[in-house]
Structure 1
Amino acid sequence: MTSAYSTMNRRADFVAANAGLRVARPGFVLLAKPNGGQGMRAGITVTKKIGNAVVRNRMKRRFRALLREMLPEHGLADTDHVLIGRDNGVERDFSLLREELLAALTRAEAGKGDPPRRKGGPRRGKR
């Protein structure tokens, strides 16, 4: 059985997707960027800020199941999709994550991303 999308593995692909459309949801951030005819691709990123390895792996398993279910029908053709895990994404109800992903994919298809993030980190006082 072949999947309707391929998996992104190279760091360069993830970095390129970061320049695309960004749609933030409580459980994750969706990045979507057209990839010039390479087909539908998907990637998952969960940073160490989220928790220990057990928590991160659980979140990645949930995201993989979500992508397997939603991308074939609702994904954007010839687009890289990257899910970035957020802090409360691992405890969220799976049906709620499903609704959020559908809403995020709909916004991405309409070209309605969130405003660009500001450059730099949090402002700190002088040391």
Structure 2
Amino acid sequence: MHPSLSVIRKRSDFLAANRGMRNAKPGFVLLTRPNEGQGKRYGITVTKKIGNAVVRNRMKRRFRELLWAALPDGGLPDHDHILIGREGGVERDFAALAEELDAALARAARGEGDRARRPRHSRSRRA
């Protein structure tokens, strides 16, 4: 792991990043959000819709390598970076994923993002 990067582990940080800027690519969605001076942090999410545990873990390992390579130079300072795996991302060529991540980071650095998703139902509705 790169010494200037730290890992996001708390659910609240993942949820906060979900309110940030999003850049969708064919293999993943990159979420970026300022984190009040906590340095460059990253997190990875791969849902069960993607595949079984073997497939999900393989995708997470590939994403981790991508982030370790790209974030020290291309990451936004004092931002959280979350990669969300998408269907078909595990089969994509590693070099293509690296190019997509560089493009997504460049868009985020320019302040460009995709349209925010509409919020789904809130979890606190049930009484």
Same fold judged by TM-score > 0.5?
yes
* Rounded Cα–Cα distance in structure 2 between residues aligned with 1:17 and 1:3: 22
Question: What residue in structure 2 maps to residue 23 of structure 1?
Answer: 23
Conservation of the 8 A alpha-carbon contact between 2:59 and 2:89: yes
Deviations 1:24-53 (A, max 9, x none): 000000000000101110000000000000
CA–CA separation in structure 2 for the residues paired with 1:76 and 1:116 = 20
Whether contact under 8 Å (1:17, 1:32) holds in the other structure is yes
Length-normalised TM-score, structure 1: 0.92
| 1:8 corresponding residue in structure 2 | 8
Give secondary structure in 2 for the equivalent of 1:80.
Answer: strand
User: Which letter maps to 1:18?
Assistant: N
Cα root mean square deviation, aligned: 1.3
Does structure 1 conserve the Cα–Cα contact (< 8 Å) formed by 2:24 and 2:30?
A: yes
2:2 and 2:72 in contact (8 A); partners too: no
Percent same amino acid at aligned positions?
64
| TM-score for the superposition, normalised by structure 2 | 0.92
- SS at structure 1 position matched to 2:57: helix
CA contact (8 A) 1:32 1:108 kept: yes
1:71 maps to amino acid:
L
* 1:97 paired residue number: 97
- Tell me the distance in 2 between the aligned counterparts of 1:108 and 1:40: 14
What are the ranges of 5 or more consecutive residues in structure 1 without an aligned counterpart?
A: 122-127
After superposition, the Cα gap between the structure-2 partners of 1:2 and 1:30, relative to the gap in structure 1 and judged at 3 Å, is closer
Report the CA distance between 1:3 and its aligned residue.
Answer: 2.0
Aligned match of 2:51: 51
Deviation at 1:116, TM superposition (A): 1.3
Q: Which residue of 1 aligns with 2:38?
A: 38
Structure 2: runs of 5 or more not aligned: 122-127
